[in-house]
Amino acid sequence: MSAVEADAVTETDDQLEAALDGLAQGLAHAVRSPILRTPAECGLAFEDVSFPSTDGTPLEAWFIPCEGSEKLIVFEHPMMFNRYGFAAHVEPWRSAFGEGYGNDVEVSFIPNYRILHDAGYNVLTFDFRNFGLSGAANGGLMSGNRFEVRDVLGALAYVRSRPELAAMTVGIFAGCMGANATFRAIHTEPAAFEGVRCLVAPLLLSPMAFVERALENLGVSTEHAGEVERRTRLLTSCSLSEGSPVAWAPSVTMPTLTYGVREDALVAPDDLEAAYAAIGADDKSMFWIEGTRARWDGYLYFQRHPETVLARLADHMG
């Protein structure tokens, strides 16, 4: 059973056990999806580059240059995605987040890179550990972003190690897991973010809020959320409750924009509202995407309606 399979279960002992175990296993183990496109599809020149996470895990990346630009966006992907996006139009990934909510279409970030490039930004985008083509690490376990923080820090270290990038004005565009990991990295290693001008952090997500909505979608009482957390901790040694971006958000003091899908089938709106309220930045903003339950519409929003995000970047990156 997938982590968020939409078919309701009857709470017999066997079915309940399968539902709880399926959720715990899905939250504990990273699952790779394929890279099906490259920036060349949008006519972009790019470099295949590799750099280490701060613990030495090799990370694979694309650097997309924008001639004459001194501005750089570091782009970070969500959980189960990679720098290309997510092949949700192909099984088994089509069923990975449940059927019937519109999350079964391809998400390609390649158009995002074209838009950013044409707006005057260089782009560095990488695969987190255990995703895409980056190295396997930590037994393939998820960690509430404890391990992924090291990848965010490794990307910034790579930028500063490359002479032509080190002097650039830097912003970060990070969704879901990427945003959570960035929040945690800012909290634990604030000095690494000196000079980062702004953060676009859509679709922030607390693991326990995800679990509660997943149980609802399965037709299982949310009173079992604690049991899912217990089982996940037995697999990973990490607490899902400790993976909430709300805990780290007060440390995020750079200008920050977030947005989400108000009727998101995978999480209740008060989760993003709580994260936004906790962000420490004076200069922060948030908006909702209306008229859909598909979280994927949040990931595709920028390429469909880039104006708000581009204006925000221009305000802070010149």
Mapped onto helix, strand or coil, the DSSP state of residue 141 is strand
pLDDT in tens, 263-315: 999 999 999 999 999 999 999 999 999 999 999 999 999 999 999 999 999 99
Which tens digits make up the pLDDT trace of 147-191?
Answer: 999 999 999 999 999 999 999 999 999 999 999 999 999 999 999
Query: Rounded to whole angstroms, how far apart are CA atoms 25 and 2?
Result: 9
Do 54 and 122 fall within a single domain? Answer: yes
Q: What is the dihedral of CA 229, 256, 197, 306, to 10 degrees?
A: 110
Burial class, 48, CB count within 10 angstroms (exposed 0-12 / middle 13-18 / buried 19+): exposed
Percent composition of the chain: helix, strand, coil (DSSP 3-state, to 5): 40, 15, 40
Whether 113 and 175 share a structural domain: yes
List strands edge to edge, sheet with 196-200. 47-52, 58-64, 122-126, 71-76, 169-174, 196-200, 256-261, 284-289
83 and 226 housed in the same domain: no
Cβ atoms of 220 and 11 within 8 Å: the answer is yes
Kindly state whether residues 68 and 215 are assigned to the same domain: no
Based on the fold, state whether residues 103 and 132 are members of the same structural domain. yes
* Same domain membership, residue 213 and residue 171: no
Strand partners, 284: 256
- Mean pLDDT rounded to a whole number for the chain: 94
How many structural domains comprise the chain?
2
Domain-terminating residue out of 241, 256, 289: 241
Q: Which domain holds residue 107?
A: 35-206+244-317
- Asked whether 59 and 127 are in contact (CB, 8 A), the reply is yes
pLDDT tens string 67-94: 999 999 999 999 999 999 999 999 999 9
Both 78 and 192 in one domain: the answer is: yes
What CATH number should be reported for the domain holding residue 253? 3.40.50.1820
Does the N-terminal peptide bond of residue 111 adopt cis geometry, omega within 30 degrees of 0? no
